[in-house]
Structure 1
């Protein structure tokens, strides 16, 4: 055998060892809390670049339909958010289209005219990201609701550094801000006028907020979770980095290894536990082809909502199949509606603004 070929064979023998070393290094790096935070939140990807938050029309929203706001949290951070008017309120202006942005008092009065959706986005990018703006447009127009789209601390033009505790504080701050205005503009109970919608990471935020509100006797009008997960540790155990590197799957060969690694996860967002504490009607939306969060996370959430503490509650379950679109499973559990849509397509970012899923949001929120 040629000497160069022998050298290649010798080197090839060390390839598995080198790959194992790289994998071990990746795992070691992921045990560092700061690295985990960067990966979970990806807040430094502030797309679009140099966003014009005070000019939402630049991103496709109708002229003067949206106001840009900044509100302060109890711990001193400042959050950037948009308030988009319901379509019926917007087109009722005289003259129409409006020649200038309405006063804040006009926007505040809109909270008494139609329900409000608090929208909590996923990781990376900002409230001006194109797929998120499409969602606001569909919600405000098709559902005819107020939409509040907030950038968490560290995202967009908001101050601070993200953490699970911080994001929940941000969500509660936005809830309190809206609740105060709903109470001034409407005679109906404020919590029954506010619906929570979360996407991806935002489903963990919405779930945690719902649990905190439930502990205080408040239950939102409805909760819609788009591509949710059971918890961050569970998500990491099934995650493929960049779609090609399994993060924890190889550890299945070592008894207890995955569970040990999961104990080092700092940002946990345990949606399964949080959702068990609220009685709000709930909608789960997930597509089979989601490349980021596996569809079975929603399957597990749906099963857990129907069987809290491992005990099957008496429930009425109906299943509807729509070839080419997906399957809708409807359950009434302990006087609460839980609806689960399993889509044949939609990926991770597109299903939140499609017509069919908007109709399901209207159904669960009685909009």
Structure 2
């Protein structure tokens, strides 16, 4: 009986509270509608002239509203990863937009951004101006190519002067020896052969310096194409067949069909060729070098891997962090004897980074090495 009385009291109390709360709820709904209408009235519109102008710009451009919402943006802004939906992606850019809105003055800055996950970092020159009524216009130019060119200029003189002096000095010494041995046919033949070897090495060094400089000033992802990994791997193996035969190295390939990536086919083929040549150069006569491809999945992201393995001399752990530096050689004497320039792995690293990927090495002295070029797999969105 007592329990029934408690239930009735609870029901009566609930009805009383509900009746008392109804006016409050109606007031909150009216206030919500008023607030939404007020916000709609206070959000300024982008004029047709400004919208047309932004559409014609080659630079990335976006107009931001008073509540940090992106009211409009051109395709370049979305390509550079500045906009996702109706929000600004880089926090640094959002901070600049807010500063310009508060101060009412224009400003400029340099920012680093990333187009998408797995894509290389880009250097941006940003200009921002407040348009009034809370609107802010942001314009960004991709200066990545210019920054890379400046870096090339700074490094070029030091690298070239360091590396070219060795073959140039050798050629001069051999030329003087050849001049002094004009009456000794056997010495002339011997010095001439060495002179040709040093000249070939000098030519290869110059060619690789030019190739690295070209790669650093050329972004393959500005106008990428769908690249068949099958074609890249097979072309690289074919280019290295003669070198492998000359050293009695068994060159094998196990290529998974149908793998594709976005980028530049020539750059990727050159990178794989450098990996194979490096494996051949640092393998003993009769060794094995294999090229394999596969498509692993990591954290729901698809990748393509091109691996080059050998059973050569291997690399010491303390040298594995340095092998991708320009002109660095694990065994300097052997690298020079085999015609290595010390630029091959630097080219591979740069190519991997430019394609939004990476290159890694596993190695043990006396057991061999495996270099793995990992790239984002092409996703066909059709």
The TM-score by the shorter chain falls in which range? under 0.3
Structure with higher Rg: it is 2
What TM-score, normalized to structure 1? Answer: 0.26
What TM-score, normalized to structure 2? Answer: 0.26
Tell me: higher relative CO, structure 1 or 2? Use CA pairs within 8 A at least 6 residues apart.
1
Larger helix percent:
2
